Structure 1
């Protein structure tokens, strides 16, 4: 896999994103987005919306060092719903 984080350096939660998430059955989050501190809030809101609408939420763990740095944040997107 090749990744270029520069293309997704800012992800804002807005009505357009909420609308798309509300219509999905599976919501997949790229683990490397957790490297962007402001994006974690967006991810959390998006996961809440996905769960509210019955979607399955999946997070790619990306690599071991990413997991080590953001372990608690990875679980944060699941914990309120577990």
Structure 2
């Protein structure tokens, strides 16, 4: 999971797929399971890449994109609240 600046959402999605490909193969061979990397990339202001809903549908429990966006926005607000004086 990553929370990049909004303009980097698509780039980060593909980076995550490439970064964890070797690990996916290694775990699959080690445990004799079929494995798949599912990137969850949400921008710091809640932006998602096209096709993110297809990735989320593959996760057990079927998490809702709105809930994940809310968590990200609350995290961003928390960081800003700590940094900016009131």
- Tell me if TM exceeds 0.5: no
Q: Which has the higher strand share?
A: 1
Normalised to the residue count of structure 2, the TM-score between the two structures is 0.29
